[in-house]
Amino acid sequence: MHVLELIHRENSPFISVEIIPPKRGGRIQQVYDAVESLLPYRPRYINITSHAAEVIWQEQADGVFRRRVKRRSPGTFGLCAVIKYKYHIEPVPHLLCHGFTREETEDALIELRYLGVENVLALQGEEKYAKPPRPDRTVNHYAVELVEQISAMNQGRYLDEITDAEPTNFCIGVAAYPEKHYQSPNLSFDLLNLKRKQDAGASYAITQMFFDNRFYYEFLHRARETGIHIPIIPGIKILTKREHIYSLPRAFHITLPEPLVSAVMAAKDDKEVLEIGLEWAYHQAVELLAHGVKNLHFYTMLYTRPLIRLMEKLKLD
């Protein structure tokens, strides 16, 4: 079922989550444990991150550093099959521009269609590996171009002209940035970019994590004024350790409210930080639900215990 259908079908608030594949050589049981721990709270869909290849320099026995290129966490498509057919939850794999050619993207979409996957999240991604494509290959530089490619396949138009090509049927999600994308010069420019993604075929958007609901409310208001009518789902992250007040702004270009930072800095250890993070996320969720938000999206990775505690307190149906 399409994510957009799920959103329109549900009458009561519900959650969705994002997880990551285990690192190369990791245990699949990590994923089973994470998903199974959340089953009582009925996540309607699960996003699975994808990672492009990255350059790694390794010192060899002769003391020379050699360059290697590899994907740190493969397995996104395999996890889609597990989540859909073992747990009967809709999987939403991330598709990236950076690190993948348009030809590779088309092949990936064909494979996902064969797996019965109906939803994808189209992202630009981080450019960790910038090897130029072969002369016979092309790339999507921006998420809107990726949305256009997926939409074209939904209309039966592939990269090469194919007679009587069967259309795909993907529901396309995209990212939204309440504090603007770090590459955008301002929020107005970023909102226009989101509208371009909507007009290209995106059916909904999930926001980058935020810790001040005002960012979401103001973003949603300005989005509607800009002509963006697709659902914009708030993304929430439970802060669990002191290091997060440094790493999250650095990695995701977000702002942490001063009261939250002060409370975390005054905590005696990460156990106390977790309690602060849980209380903050709880109040965020309650306020968002009171403002009519139906779908709360949580960035859990594979660490679900904080979300379980939060769900026990929220008591959603």
pLDDT in the model for residue 127: 66
- Percent of the chain predicted with pLDDT > 90: 81
Task: Give me the pLDDT at residue 294, please.
Answer: 95
Per-residue model confidence (pLDDT) at position 129: 53
- Is residue 257 over pLDDT 80? yes
What are 147-205's pLDDT values in tens digits? 999 999 999 999 988 888 899 999 999 999 999 999 999 999 999 999 999 999 999 99
24 compared with 272, residue with greater pLDDT: 272
The pLDDT value recorded for residue 292 is: 95
Residue 68 is predicted with a pLDDT of: 55
Average pLDDT of the segment spanning 235-243: 97
**pLDDT one-digit tens code per residue, 60-116:** 555 555 555 555 557 899 999 999 999 999 999 999 998 889 999 999 999 999 999
Residue 249, pLDDT above cutoff 70:
yes
* Averaged pLDDT score across all residues of the chain: 91
Q: Say yes or no to pLDDT of 24 above 90.
A: no
What CATH number matches the domain at 3-314, 3.40.190.10, 3.20.20.220, 3.30.572.10, 1.10.3720.10? 3.20.20.220
- Residue 26 banded pLDDT, cuts 50, 70, 90: confident
- Three-state DSSP string of the chain: CCHHHHHHHCCCCEEEEEECCCCCCCCCHHHHHHHHHHHHHCCCEEEECCCCCEEEEEECCCCCEEEEEECCCCCHHHHHHHHHHCCCCEEEEEEECCCCEHHHHHHHHHHHHHHCCCEEEEECCCCCCCCCCCCCCCECCCHHHHHHHHHHHHCCCCCCCCCCCCCCCCEEEEEECCCCCCCCCCHHHHHHHHHHHHHHCCCEEEEEECCCHHHHHHHHHHHHHCCCCCCEEEEECCCCCCCHHHHHHHHHCCCCCHHHHHHHHHCCCHHHHHHHHHHHHHHHHHHHHHCCCCEEEEECCCCCHHHHHHHHHHCCC
pLDDT value at 213 more than 70: yes
Q: Where along the chain do its domains lie?
A: 3-314
